[in-house]
Structure 1
Amino acid sequence: MTPVPTRAEVCVVACAEAFRGDGEILAAGVGGAITVLAARLARLTFEPDLITHDGVCLLTGDVPPLGADPEVVEGWLPFRDHLWLVLQGRRHVMLGASQIDRHGNTNISCIGDWARPRSQLLGVRGAPGNTVCDPTSYWIPRHSPRVFVPQVDMVSGVGYDRAAEAGASRHHDLRRVVTNLAVLDFATRDRSMRLASVHPGVTVEQVVASTGFELAMPAGGVPETRTPTTEELGLLRERLDPGSLRDREVPG
């Protein structure tokens, strides 16, 4: 009998799918267990040429569990070389977002007016360069209208409309947005956000009610997000995350 996956495991696989077809580029998961597991799971299964790192400065030859040091180190990645990879489009990063709009503009800087914000967040950090130069995806663990907003309070990561306005579309590539409820993409004529799939147990109506703008829908109906294979579940549970840190990020 195939084991029943948790919602967190469905989310890991949905995030891993963002790296499908990338080949030999650096896969960087930022901001939690789910994204790191996604890059490592993709490397161990359908995308073996992916380059992964320890989250600091070591390129890993093996794929260690969360929290463990690699046993095989392929190289050293100082910050200057990391920046070179970003500027050359050789890094696919999966970021988080405090706000995101229908064209994929994101905010991690502040909530409210920029001059007098209600809340100060991280600042734009590397979001502009990442989103203009490299494939970028997003992981949002709490899908709500407070995150999915009609207009972000400040643009940190660049969306499709602003990239086009600035003439910066050449390398701009937003792949997908994965949340605890669904997978979303920008496979529309005007590059607005589309509901690509809903996770098992989630309805389209739930996702629509949790989104602060109108979502495009695929022709023929919204499919269900694929569930992990038996092999993927075994890798997650026995090798990559035996401590189940994934389930703390997305409770069952």
Structure 2
Amino acid sequence: MTDRQPTGVSRSEYCVIACAEAWRDAGEILASPMGLIPSVGARLARLTFAPDLLLTDGEALLIRPDGTPEGWLPYRQHLALVSGGRRHVMMGASQIDRHGNQNISCIGDWARPKRQLLGVRGAPINTLNNPTSYWIPRHSPRVFVEKVDMVCGVGYDRVAQHPGTARFHRIPRVVSDLGVFDFETPDRSMRLASLHPGVTVEQVEEATGFALVIPDEVAPTREPTPAELRLIREVIDPADTRRKEVAV
């Protein structure tokens, strides 16, 4: 497989496109992106192929893609969206495994962790009650691990053991600075779905702490259109904050 050569589009902009695609044709649901690039991606989706998407400031307001208020989102209604499958959140992950179990709580044994992180937070509710994707700006074996030290976000293997608890559980995609991954496999283990430009399958395998499912032909992450590039660069993120997460 040959590398694609860069075409003037930065890696960070391919990541924006890959994140935006998580909300393609989503309809009137609440997008909850966490991180700079997912936020740019959600706003791009709203301005292009997902016009009914609802965006929030994370507190009490619905906002337009430029950040100005569009409406009020009472906390009760927010919880109704969260618990009824009407939200798609894109979270981060300190660790993630082959079945999509995610850890943001601690590194090492929970009783005596080597490092304390954010805590479990809302990860169980997110993953069991509405679609949850993940954004990982630095793909490495320390993040993509054989087994997470603590399960915060629930993966497909655990849901299979308790199917009645997770009728809204779905992990549409994992986006990293190397490519896009999904779980469209018979046993719901992670598959390489696309590669960003200049990245090889071998690089991805070396940066992953478990054996990925690799198709015979790996698609490239789709190119942004000229209109999308203009929106990213001139309207949504003219300060180029996306490069703080992916510098290339």
Please classify the TM superposition score into its range, dividing by the shorter chain length. Answer: over 0.9
Aligned-residue offset at 1:229:
0.8
* Match 2:151 to one of 137, 141, 155: 155
The alignment covers a number of residue pairs equal to 242
- 2:48 matched to 1:45? yes
The Cα shift of 1:24 comes to: 0.5
Contact 1:99–1:152 (8 Å) recurs in 2: yes
Q: TM-score, normalised by structure 1?
A: 0.93
Distance across 2 between alignment mates of 1:110 and 1:175: 25
Letter in 1 for 2:182: D
1:225-240 equivalences under 5 Å are 225-240=221-236
Question: Secondary structure in 1 aligned to 2:171?
Answer: strand
Q: Could you tell me how far apart the structure 1 residues matched to 2:143 and 2:213 are?
A: 17
**2:22 corresponds to which of 1, 10, 18:** 18
Q: CA deviation at 1:84?
A: 1.7
Query: When the two structures are superposed, what TM-score results if normalisation uses the length of structure 2?
Result: 0.94
Alpha-carbon distance in 2 for matches of 1:39, 1:46: 10
Give the secondary structure class of the aligned counterpart of 2:46.
helix
Q: CA deviation at 1:177?
A: 0.2
Taking the aligned partners of 1:175 and 1:193, their CA distance within structure 2 comes to 11
Question: Out of 96, 116, 120, which is 1:120 matched to?
Answer: 116
1:82-136: CA deviations, max 9, x gaps? Answer: 2221001111000000000000000000000000000011111110011011011
Tell me, in whole angstroms, the C-alpha distance in 2 between the residues paired with 1:55 and 1:5.
30
CA deviation vs aligned residue, 1:17-67 (integer Å, no higher than 9, x gap)? 01112110001101x21011111000100111111122322112x310xxx
Aligned AA for 1:26? L
Corresponding residue number in structure 2 for 1:209? 206
Counterpart Cα distance in 2 of 1:244 and 1:158: 33
Q: Are 2:9 and 1:5 equivalent residues in the alignment? A: yes
The alignment status of 1:89 with 2:85, answered yes or no, reads yes
**Displacement after TM superposition at 1:224 (Å):** 1.0
1:140 aligns with 2:147: no
Following TM superposition, where does structure 1 have runs of at least 4 consecutive aligned residues deviating by more than 6 angstroms?
A: none
Unaligned runs of 5+ in 2: 1-6
- When the two chains are superposed, the root-mean-square deviation of aligned CA atoms in Å is 1.3
Whole-angstrom distance in 2 between the partners of 1:21 and 1:52: 15
Q: Distance in 2 between matches of 1:79 and 1:124?
A: 20
Partner of residue 3, structure 2:
none
Whole-Å Cα distance in 1 between the matches of residues 146 and 229 of structure 2?
37
Output the CA distance in 2 between the equivalents of 1:50 and 1:82.
Answer: 14
In structure 1, C-alpha distance between the alignment counterparts of 2:237 and 2:26, rounded to whole Å: 24
Equivalence for 2:58: 55
